[in-house]
Structure 1
């Protein structure tokens, strides 16, 4: 365990010009006192590590010193090749570069670890898109990725759901996210941070305007917060339903996870016939119509009245179509 921690410290020093004892302790989840002891051990082992005192001080390695990758453990060598996303790299125009990097890492490993790491690609495969979903065309993804990496602002036409449908946006790209097979651009405007679906971007232009990244911005944290707020905004209203026992048990199969969980959490005790009243979050009456029709005859809409009326109209038309 300690040997692995020493190697982690060494590699951390390799990737940073200077790092404090507190930063190392936070990264490795140990005490600062433990870091001091580990630094003494590294120095005693002949590693050229130096500590600079003062407010701007920290630990650093002698210029030119590099640790070797063949110090990876077996588990680390295997997990390294699980971290790669070949399809994502290809989408971003980095497929050949990722392949070359993989080959360099493989060549640096000793034979026994090289064989085990190579087995990962034979046994694990990532297919990001959901079932029965075709990949969206993203002709501007490579250009957007280039702007993200080189920190250039972009201007593009964008197709959105609200009116007007076609708008022009100028933004400072902060990152790209691959979610369920779809690519999203996170960009910073003068007012706020916004998210754009790459497949809806049209006529993109890379501008000669540098990006100023917010000092406290973290892409993973932003995306997690964005998903929560998006779901809350998407489900602002609710419908009151009366569900048969069998339909209630099958909610996870019939609805998206968030809606199914919300309905279960709001469920009242079953009546003598086994029916339960639940509240189902809805985005709009049009969307709710298709969602509730999916529940079949095991669901009755009690409110709002307009949604009940639309369900009645739709089911009556279906009955006429099928000769009922």
Structure 2
């Protein structure tokens, strides 16, 4: 509709110093002739737009013009632009709606308001050394959750050799550390499914069967808590050569139990002793053996003795030929 297009032109001019007719035509999917007619209509309606001729010319809006569409303060505007600028909404299939929302916010902001927070805050949600998850099915699952429809997915968990079909009652989707998860009920029990492992989705012609009062935030928090609780952490003191300290501490950080940090309890010119609580006992032993004795378990004694037994068994297993 023309009214929507005229508003979009105003919003674009409000946030840009200058926009060409070609850019406007491409953005709004109309001809340049239509854009020229729209500019004449805006000018006739009292909107202070004007054209600059020449190679670097284009359309501009008079500085200081402000459409009264909201009462956002400059800081509120900065916060919204910084948050809405994340690619989360693109993953959800909402890029077009996001662009429209940002344009409407911009009508009540100066260029300084829009850019100030972005200039000093950058959000990178990617995990270190992690690839990009395939979230092809995220928009469809988001709609199924909103429409409260049952879904059938083909899902390949780390424990399965091939995808397995499951019928789920979806509650919602959760983004955690740039990884998306579907929270759904399977046979009446809440579960989480990583979107990158979903191979196919079929939305069924049946309503989702969700418990009364089920809340996405509370169910997710319960699932996360159960996952992070796990077994009791393994406490250990490790002796690390000074030349390997940075590398080993980087590896150990990824093995720490939730809420724990490494602490140095002794240091000299040749080595450092660090204490920590780790999620998995075998991981501590494996890491130490991987450094071929350069990293030693100082305490507790039972962990040190277990590492010795594992080292002997590993040596025996790797000094014989592998059958087949």
Give the alignment's TM-score, normalised by structure 2: 0.60
Kept in 2, the 8 Å contact 1:85–1:126? The answer is no
1:98 equivalent to 2:98? Answer yes
**Could you say which structure has the larger radius of gyration?**
2
Q: CA deviation at 1:314?
A: 6.1
Match of 1:298 in 2: 295
Kept in 1, the 8 Å contact 2:77–2:105? The answer is no
Between the aligned partners of 1:170 and 1:115, the Cα distance in structure 2 is 50
Between the aligned partners of 1:218 and 1:252, the Cα distance in structure 2 is 39
Between the aligned partners of 2:215 and 2:188, the Cα distance in structure 1 is 18
Q: CA deviation at 1:215?
A: 3.9
Matched residue of 2:102: which SS? helix
Between the aligned partners of 1:245 and 1:278, the Cα distance in structure 2 is 15
Match of 1:149 in 2: 146
Q: CA deviation at 1:103?
A: 0.7
Match of 1:88 in 2: 88
CA distance 1:303–1:143, shift in 2 (3 Å)? farther
1:70 equivalent to 2:67? Answer no
Matched residue of 1:130: which SS? coil
1:243 equivalent to 2:249? Answer no
Map 1:108-127 → 2, pairs under 5 A: 109=108, 111-112=109-110, 115-127=112-124
Kept in 2, the 8 Å contact 1:86–1:98? The answer is no
Between the aligned partners of 2:77 and 2:187, the Cα distance in structure 1 is 44
Map 1:10-25 → 2, pairs under 5 A: none
Q: CA deviation at 1:102?
A: 1.1
Given the alignment, which residue of 159, 182, 185 partners 2:182?
185
1:281 equivalent to 2:278? Answer yes
Between the aligned partners of 1:282 and 1:243, the Cα distance in structure 2 is 19
Between the aligned partners of 1:298 and 1:126, the Cα distance in structure 2 is 36
Between the aligned partners of 1:226 and 1:73, the Cα distance in structure 2 is 38
Q: CA deviation at 1:227?
A: 2.6
1:160 equivalent to 2:154? Answer no
Kept in 1, the 8 Å contact 2:152–2:202? The answer is yes
Match of 1:175 in 2: 172
Q: What is the RMSD computed on CA atoms of the aligned residues?
A: 4.0
CA distance 1:307–1:293, shift in 2 (3 Å)? closer
Kindly tell me the number of residue pairs found equivalent between the two proteins: 244
Kept in 2, the 8 Å contact 1:243–1:278? The answer is no
Between the aligned partners of 1:103 and 1:271, the Cα distance in structure 2 is 57
Given the alignment, which residue of 224, 227, 230 partners 1:230?
227
CA distance 1:101–1:282, shift in 2 (3 Å)? closer
**Structure 1 regions of 5+ residues with no counterpart?**
1-67, 319-324
